[in-house]
């Protein structure tokens, strides 16, 4: 039986280089995709592309359906005629990180200006395209209204809005729509631009035979359009505040666990509705991506539930999820299940059984492989063919940073495992991932270039300073990395497009 061995790179588009303060869906992304193709990779994995809320985290979004407007390529808006070219001149943002505090007001002002220009001046053909997008995007109006209300009420959470608005009384919503019409249309314009630009990105990737792996967080933010519009499907009190919140117990990353704060689903209500909200969400994901990583997959078996009044995640308990009933409903609705299950952390037999029942590949992290004995499931000789192996993920230190932090014994153990003299290097772990029996290998871009801890994307349990890293240099002008290309060929993972 032939095998589909492949390899890819993990890089969130905010981390791309560029001149406007943040990576976008523009020409630098095209150059990155060409770099992947020339190097021989066939996969690109991203973090969630939804609009970030608390702490600028892509895992805490104002909507599970909307796109992150900060990723919109402003140069394309200039080309469209919605912005004058000189509005992009004279900007002075850091090249190696996203300065969200300065970037957000600057970029949102330009997007608002572009929307005003579009509605005042755009040709009828473009206006018609916009209206068609609005007509077929069923979640768009509620999201745009939510964002306009957030601004109107000075970014306060929806539970602190007037009661009739918070509870979505039809007459109150109609009054808000009449009062905030221009702001609502501006939000719709941003979403139209995001999704038309993303469609162009999909076209570039397809031309280069690169498949895109999306990321689906299991939970949503409380202060989001999702919860505001679907209160009955979450475990909330009469005022709309969470009764219990999600997190994880003490683990590798934190002695007190991680208190995420997301409201938990009322799975009984969701099941009675045929999981319709979830199925709509997954339909959108598979329309945007070729594969989807389900973050915190174990939450479908059981989720760590913490009383909302707690300050840490230590005093929680496991609350059962919908299990196989959920995936059967999704499978019946959409057909196949193009998922990767993030099965890290506290994984119990019921979680493994659920993943195996639906034949979903799990994840193997090499940075977790060398802290015990030969039975460690993350060691390459214990990998399954139907798995995805990573050197590390967005939650880990870069491999170079990790190697610098572990003991010399661990570094030596890795070298011994590979049969080489001396301490291990980032290149060694990349080679280990590529030679693994697992059919799919994903390498963070930081590891391809052996970047240090300063290039880390996220520190779980730390509220501030995450998600800012950018690759400050242009990608190699030659188009690829010859040493990596040779290894991809050696281990049967080369994209032969």
Q: In what order do the strands lie in the sheet with 258-263?
A: 258-263, 244-248, 302-307, 317-320
Strand pairing partners for 441? 7, 389
Catalytic choice (215, 223, 395, 428): 395
Active-site residue, 395 included? yes
Q: Hey, what long-range contacts does 458-466 have (CB within 8 A, 24 or more apart)?
A: 458/57, 458/394, 458/395, 460/253, 460/254, 460/258, 460/395, 461/253, 461/254, 461/256, 461/258, 463/55, 464/55, 466/55, 466/56, 466/57
* Two structure tokens written together for 300: 């479908």
Q: Which of 360, 250, 385, 372 is nearest to 300 (CA)?
A: 360
Q: Determine which one of 215, 295, 439, 447 is catalytic.
A: 295
Catalytic residue, candidates 82, 223, 226, 342: 342
Token pair in block for residue 431: 């080679």
As to burial, measured by CB atoms within 10 angstroms (0-12 exposed, 13-18 middle, 19+ buried), residue 168 is: middle
Is the CA virtual torsion 88, 92, 96, 102 positive or negative? negative
Tokens 């314009």 identify what position? 189
309 burial via Cβ count (<10 Å: 0-12, 13-18, 19+): exposed
Cα–Cα nearest to 423, from 370, 384, 463: 370
Task: Name which of 136, 143, 72, 138 is nearest 104 in CA terms.
Answer: 72
Of 386, 414, 472, the residue nearest 19 (C-alpha): 472
| Residue 92 falls in the annotated catalytic set | no
- The CA-based angle 479-441-353, given to 5 degrees, is 155
Residues 6+ apart with CB under 8 A from 154: none
Instruction: Quote the CA–CA distance of 161 and 491 in Å, as a whole number.
Output: 57
Q: Is 397 designated active site?
A: no
Residues taking part in catalysis = 295, 342, 395
């Amino acid at each position: 039986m032939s095998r589909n061995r492949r390899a890819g790179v993990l890089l969130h588009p905010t981390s791309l280089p560029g001149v406007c303060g943040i990576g976008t869906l523009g020409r630098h992304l095209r150059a990155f995709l060409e770099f992947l193709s020339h190097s021989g990779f066939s996969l690109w994995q991203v973090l969630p592309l939804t609009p970030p809320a608390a702490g600028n985290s892509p895992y805490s979004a104002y909507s599970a359906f909307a796109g992150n407007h900060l990723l919109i390529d402003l140069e394309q808006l200039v080309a469209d005629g919605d912005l004058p070219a000189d509005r992009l001149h004279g900007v002075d943002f850091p090249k190696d990180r996203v300065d969200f505090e300065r970037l957000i007001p600057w970029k949102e002002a330009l997007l608002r200006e572009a929307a005003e220009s579009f509605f005042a001046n755009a040709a009828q053909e473009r206006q018609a395209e916009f209206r068609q997008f609005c007509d077929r995007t069923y979640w768009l109006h509620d999201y745009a209204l939510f964002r306009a209300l957030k601004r109107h009420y000075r970014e306060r959470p929806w539970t602190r809005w007037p009661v009739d608005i918070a509870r979505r009384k039809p007459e109150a919503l109609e009054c808000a729509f009449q009062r905030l019409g221009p702001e609502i249309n501006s939000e719709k314009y941003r979403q139209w631009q995001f999704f038309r630009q993303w469609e162009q990105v999909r076209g570039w990737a397809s031309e280069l035979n690169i498949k895109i792996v999306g990321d689906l967080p299991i939970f949503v933010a409380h202060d989001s359009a999702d919860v505001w519009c679907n209160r009955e499907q979450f475990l909330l009190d009469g005022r709309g505040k969470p009764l219990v919140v999600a997190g994880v117990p003490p683990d590798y990353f934190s002695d007190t666990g991680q208190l995420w704060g997301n409201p938990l689903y009322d799975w009984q209500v969701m099941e009675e509705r045929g999981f319709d909200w979830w199925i709509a969400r997954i339909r959108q994901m598979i329309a945007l991506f070729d594969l989807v990583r389900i973050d915190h997959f174990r939450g479908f078996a059981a989720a760590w539930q913490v009383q909302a009044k707690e300050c840490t995640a230590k005093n929680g308990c496991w609350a059962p999820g919908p299990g196989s009933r959920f995936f059967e409903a999704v499978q019946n609705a959409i057909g196949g299940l193009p998922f990767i299950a993030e099965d890290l952390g506290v994984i119990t037999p019921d979680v493994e059984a659920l993943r195996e029942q639906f034949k979903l590949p799990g994840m193997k992290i090499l940075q977790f492989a060398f802290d015990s004995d030969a039975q460690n499931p993350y060691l390459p000789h214990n990998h399954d063919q139907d798995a995805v192996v990573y050197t590390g993920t967005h939650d880990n230190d870069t491999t170079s940073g990790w190697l610098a932090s572990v003991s010399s014994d661990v570094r030596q153990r890795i070298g011994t495992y590979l049969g080489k003299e001396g301490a291990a290097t980032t290149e060694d772990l990349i080679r280990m991932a590529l030679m693994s029996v697992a059919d799919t290998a994903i390498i963070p871009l930081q590891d391809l270039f052996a970047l240090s801890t300063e290039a880390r994307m996220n520190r779980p349990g730390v509220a501030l300073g995450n998600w800012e890293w950018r690759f400050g240099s242009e990608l190699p002008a030659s188009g690829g990395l010859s040493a990596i290309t040779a290894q991809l060929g050696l281990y049967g993972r080369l994209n032969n497009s």
